[in-house]
Amino acid sequence: MADKKYESLKIENIVASGVVADSIDLVEFSKTVENCELNKKRFPGAVYRIENPKIASLIFSSGKIVLTGIRNNKALTDGLAIIIKSLKKAGVDTLKEPKIAITNMVCSYDLGKYINLNKVVITLNVENIEYEPEQFPGLVYRIKDPKIVVLIFSSGKIILTGGKTLEDVKKGLDILEQKLESIM
């Protein structure tokens, strides 16, 4: 991210999901693999944590998987390779090409200036804004395209979620900054 404009944009978490096998024996998998918890009374999937890269994965008997805690594409690729290797070690017949896609990115950003949230609400007066300072100190702004939800705090710090790519997140950020420029 050489672009100075996006200098403070930071990926906090990436969630990816997809299919890695036609079926998985979770009991066998959880017995074979370290750092894997299975408690079917509490949750229908196995929770498998890996340390490097630090990722938590939810693995289901259907062969579906959800990965979270990812910080970048390399961590996703490396983490998935470790999980596939562990599945194979447990005797799971994995797909030759697992179908995994990013479903959500959470990013933080610092606008570098104080924001009067009451002024934003009054000036924009849009239905895609929620602001209940008695319940939550941030303003929730929903962007339709790309589908991004932005939490804006008076400190100028913001959280962007819902993007599937960094480009989506940047587009959402650009839309937000254009809206705020008309107010500030």
Domain range for 157: 111-181
Structural domain total, the chain: 2
The amino acid that residue 87 corresponds to is L
Q: Would the pLDDT of 129 be above 80?
A: yes
Tell me if 149 is assigned to some domain: yes
Tell me if 4 is assigned to some domain: no
Q: Would the pLDDT of 26 be above 80?
A: yes
Distance CA 50, CA 54 (A): 6
**What is the average pLDDT value for the chain, to the nearest integer?**
92
**In the block, which residue shows the tokens 């998987």?**
65
CATH number assigned to the domain comprising residue 148: 3.30.310.10
Distance CA 49, CA 11 (A): 20
Percentages of the chain per state (helix, strand, coil), in multiples of 5: 30, 35, 35
Distance CA 131, CA 140 (A): 6
pLDDT at res. 1: 41
> Of residues 52 and 5, which shows the higher confidence score?
52
Q: Would the pLDDT of 2 be above 70?
A: no
95 and 32 within one domain: yes
Is the entire prediction scored with pTM above 0.85? yes
Q: How many CB atoms lie within 10 A of CB 41?
A: 5
Which of these three, 79, 103, 127, is where a domain ends? Answer: 103
Averaged pLDDT, 68-91: 95
Query: In the numeric block, which tokens belong to residue 107?
Result: 């990013």
Which of these three, 78, 103, 128, is where a domain ends? Answer: 103
What is the DSSP secondary structure assignment for residue 35, as one 8-state letter? T
